[in-house]
C-alpha cells in the first residue's frame, strides 16, 4: 500500500475516466441550450459531421483529462505541517493547507466514482466557504489512510521525526480503523421512525406546490378547472363532499409521509458512528456513500430536535455545526445524525463535551414576545386580508372560514413557540430551547462565543427587557425580550470567562 504521502503522488489511474466524465458534464452544463437545439434538429444535421464533431470533442476532453491527471499531485509536507495539492495544465495552481487548520476530511462517492471503484476526498478548513482540497479519484484504503494522516498529524509532530516509530504508529492506526467497531449504528427502524415523524411542514408545502402546478397544467391542457368544476358536485352529493375532502387530505398526508420516509432512508441508510482517537467518524448513504469526521473541539453548536411523536417513540434528531467562514453556506456544513435514541444521544454528547449537558438557570421571554410574533404573523396578514377581502369573497365565499382556521392554527403555533422558548444557563453550558412542534435544544459552550450583542428598544427600557445574540463560528444564537438585568449580568460573566482563559474555540 502506497501510504507514504511524503512524495508528490498522482490520483488513481482510473481518475482519468472520472475527470473525463466530470469535464464532459461541465461542458454539457455550459452548452446545454445548444445541445437541446441540436437534439430537436437531429434530422437536419449532417450525421457525418456530427460524428466527427463528437469524436473530436471526446478526444480533446480525453487529452485534457489525461493532462489534468498528469499534473494533479498531492503530498504532505511533514516539515512544515502542510498538505499540498498542485494542479492545472497551463495555469498551475498550488494549494497549501496547514494541517492544523483542517476542519473536516470527507470521503464521498458519486455514481461515476462508484462505477469505477474510487472515492473522492475533500478537505475543508475554517478559512473559506468552499472546499479547498478536492481529490477526485483515490482508492478507499488510500483515502482512509490519507484522512488519518491529515487529521492526526498535529498530534504526532514529535513521533514523525523518528521514521520507524512513525510507520509502526501508522499501522496501528490502520488497525484501529479496521477493528474499530462502530459504537452506534442507527437501525433501519429508527430511520423509519424519524422518516414518518419529521419535516411535515416542509414536505407539505413542496407537495402543495407540486399539486397546484399539476392542477394548473391540467387546466391548461383540458381547459377545465378541476377544483371548481360543477360536474364534481353532480357526481357526489353534498354529504359525500366532506368525506371526499377528508380522503384527499389523508392521501395527501400519506404522500408527505412516504416522500419523507424514502428521502430519509436514501440519505441516511446504514448510518454508522465510530470513535477514532477522540473524534467521531460518521458514514452513511444508500446510493452516495458519505463519510465525515467530527472533531469535538471544532464543534460550535449542537442541536437536538424532537417532537411529540418522536418523544413517544424515543428517537431524536441531532445536528452538529462546526466552525465555518461565516458564509451563507454554513447550513451545508451542518452534520446531521437522525434517529438516535436517548442513550445514543447521551453517549455522543459525552464524547463531544466530556459530560452530559444539563439545563441550568432558566430565562423566560417576556409576554410581549408573544404579542409581537402574533402581530407579525396574524395581525399583519389580517390587515392585508382586510383590504383584499372584497375581491376574493366573490370567488370564494368560504374564505372567512379559511381565515379563521389560519388564525387559530398560527395562534396555537405561536403560543407553543412562546411557551417553549427558554434559555438555560449553567457554568458549562448554554442551552436555547425553541420551536412549536419540533422542539430544538441548541447547546453551546460559553467558551465558543466569539462576540456578544445586547439589544434594547427604547420603549423597553422602563420594563427592563432586552435581547441577546451570541455569535459563534457556527452561527448565531438569539434570545429575545428576556430580563435585561439578568442578561447583562450573564454577559459580564461570559466576557470575564472568555477574557481570562485562553480557551481553544476551534
Partner 1 sequence: MEDFMNETIDTTQLPKFEDVVFSILHPNYWKVTLISLAVFFLVLAIGVGLVFYFNEDLYPFIYQLSIVFAVLLLLVFYFSWISFKKKGFAFRTHDVLFRHGIIATNTLVIPYNRVQHVALHEGFVSRFFGLAKIQIFTAGGNSSDIEIPGIAKEEAENIKQLLMGKIQKQL
Binding-site ranges for partner 1 (CB under 8 A): 126, 323-324, 326-327, 330, 360-361, 426-427, 449-458, 469, 471-473, 475-476, 488-493, 495-496, 498-499, 502, 505-506
Q: Which three cell numbers stand for residue 153?
A: 498529524
Whichever of 239 and 504 has its CB closer to partner 1, that residue is 504
CB of 302 to partner 1, least distance (A): 17
Whichever of 317 and 442 has its CB closer to partner 1, that residue is 442
Whichever of 423 and 449 has its CB closer to partner 1, that residue is 449
CB of 473 to partner 1, least distance (A): 4
CB of 490 to partner 1, least distance (A): 7
CB of 343 to partner 1, least distance (A): 26
| Residue 274 main-chain phi, psi, to 5 deg | -120, 155
User: Would you list the DSSP string of 297-344?
Assistant: GGEEEEEEEE-HHHHHHT-EEEEEEE---S-GGGGGG-EEEEEE-HHH
Give the burial string for 312-330 (b: 16+ CB within 10 Å, else e): ebebbbbbbbbbbebeeeb
Whichever of 439 and 473 has its CB closer to partner 1, that residue is 473
Q: Which three cell numbers stand for residue 264?
A: 430519509
- What is d(CA 469, CA 480) in angstroms, rounded to the nearest whole number? 8
Residue of 431, 450, 442, 438 lying closest to 498 (CA atoms):
450
CB of 357 to partner 1, least distance (A): 15
The residue count of the chain comes to: 506
Alpha carbons within 13 A on the beta-carbon side of 280: 28
Give the burial string for 161-180 (b: 16+ CB within 10 Å, else e): eeeeeeeeebeebbeebeee
CB of 501 to partner 1, least distance (A): 9
CB of 498 to partner 1, least distance (A): 5
CB of 461 to partner 1, least distance (A): 8
Whichever of 126 and 313 has its CB closer to partner 1, that residue is 126
Residue holding cell 402581530?
Answer: 375
Q: How many CB atoms lie within 10 A of CB 44?
A: 7
Whichever of 113 and 322 has its CB closer to partner 1, that residue is 322
CB of 458 to partner 1, least distance (A): 6
- What is d(CA 245, CA 242) in angstroms, rounded to the nearest whole number? 5
Helices 15-30, 32-40: inter-axial angle, 10-degree rounding: 80
Sign of CA dihedral 319, 333, 73, 70: positive
Whichever of 323 and 443 has its CB closer to partner 1, that residue is 323
- What is d(CA 106, CA 122) in angstroms, rounded to the nearest whole number? 5
Distance linking the first and last C-alpha atoms of the chain: 33
Whichever of 194 and 473 has its CB closer to partner 1, that residue is 473
Helices 238-268, 188-197: inter-axial angle, 10-degree rounding: 140
Whichever of 80 and 476 has its CB closer to partner 1, that residue is 476
Amino acid at each position: 500500500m502506497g501510504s507514504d504521502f511524503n512524495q508528490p503522488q498522482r490520483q488513481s489511474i482510473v481518475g482519468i475516466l472520472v475527470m473525463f466524465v466530470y469535464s464532459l458534464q461541465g461542458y454539457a452544463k455550459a452548452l446545454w441550450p445548444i445541445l437541446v437545439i441540436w437534439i430537436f434538429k437531429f434530422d437536419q444535421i449532417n450525421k457525418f459531421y456530427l460524428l466527427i464533431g463528437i469524436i473530436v470533442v471526446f478526444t480533446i476532453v480525453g487529452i485534457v483529462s489525461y493532462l489534468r491527471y498528469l499534473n494533479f499531485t498531492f503530498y504532505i509536507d511533514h516539515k512544515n505541517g502542510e498538505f499540498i495539492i498542485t494542479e492545472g495544465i497551463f495555469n498551475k495552481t498550488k494549494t497549501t493547507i496547514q494541517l492544523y487548520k483542517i476542519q473536516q476530511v470527507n470521503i464521498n462517492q458519486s455514481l461515476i466514482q462508484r462505477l469505477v471503484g474510487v472515492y473522492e476526498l475533500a478537505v475543508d478548513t475554517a478559512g473559506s466557504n468552499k472546499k479547498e482540497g478536492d481529490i477526485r479519484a483515490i482508492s478507499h484504503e488510500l483515502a482512509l489512510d490519507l484522512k488519518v494522516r491529515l487529521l492526526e498529524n498535529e498530534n504526532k509532530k514529535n513521533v514523525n521525526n523518528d521514521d520507524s516509530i512513525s510507520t509502526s504508529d501508522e499501522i496501528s492506526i490502520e488497525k484501529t480503523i479496521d477493528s474499530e467497531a462502530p459504537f452506534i449504528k442507527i437501525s433501519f427502524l429508527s430511520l423509519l421512525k424519524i422518516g414518518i415523524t419529521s419535516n411535515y411542514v416542509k414536505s407539505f408545502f413542496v407537495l402543495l406546490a407540486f399539486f397546484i402546478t399539476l392542477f394548473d397544467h391540467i387546466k391548461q391542457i383540458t381547459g377545465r378547472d378541476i377544483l371548481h368544476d360543477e360536474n364534481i358536485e353532480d357526481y357526489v352529493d353534498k354529504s359525500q363532499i366532506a368525506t371526499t375532502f377528508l380522503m384527499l387530505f389523508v392521501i395527501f398526508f400519506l404522500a408527505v409521509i412516504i416522500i419523507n420516509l424514502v428521502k430519509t432512508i436514501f440519505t441516511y441508510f446504514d448510518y454508522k458512528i465510530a470513535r477514532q482517537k477522540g473524534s467521531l467518524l460518521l458514514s452513511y448513504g444508500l446510493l452516495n456513500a458519505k463519510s465525515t469526521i467530527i472533531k469535538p473541539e471544532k464543534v460550535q453548536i449542537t442541536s437536538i430536535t424532537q417532537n411529540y411523536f418522536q418523544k413517544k417513540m424515543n428517537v431524536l434528531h441531532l445536528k452538529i455545526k462546526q466552525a465555518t467562514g461565516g458564509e451563507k453556506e454554513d447550513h451545508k456544513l451542518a452534520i446531521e445524525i437522525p434517529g438516535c435514541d436517548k442513550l445514543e444521544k447521551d453517549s455522543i454528547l459525552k464524547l463531544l463535551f466530556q459530560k452530559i449537558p444539563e439545563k441550568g438557570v432558566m430565562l423566560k421571554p417576556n409576554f410581549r414576545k408573544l404579542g409581537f410574533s402574533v402581530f407579525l404573523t396574524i395581525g399583519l396578514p389580517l390587515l392585508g386580508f382586510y383590504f383584499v377581502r372584497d375581491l376574493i369573497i366573490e370567488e370564494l365565499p368560504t374564505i372567512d372560514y379559511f381565515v379563521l382556521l389560519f388564525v387559530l392554527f398560527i395562534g396555537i403555533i405561536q403560543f407553543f413557540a412562546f411557551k417553549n422558548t427558554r434559555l438555560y444557563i449553567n457554568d458549562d453550558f448554554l442551552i436555547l430551547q425553541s420551536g412549536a412542534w419540533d422542539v430544538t435544544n441548541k447547546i453551546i459552550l460559553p467558551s465558543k462565543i466569539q462576540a456578544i450583542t445586547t439589544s434594547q428598544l427604547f420603549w423597553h427600557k422602563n420594563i427592563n427587557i432586552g435581547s441577546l445574540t451570541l455569535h459563534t463560528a457556527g452561527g448565531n444564537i438569539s434570545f429575545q425580550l428576556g430580563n435585561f438585568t439578568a442578561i447583562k449580568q450573564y454577559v459580564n460573566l461570559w466576557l470575564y470567562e472568555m477574557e481570562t482563559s485562553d480557551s481553544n474555540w476551534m
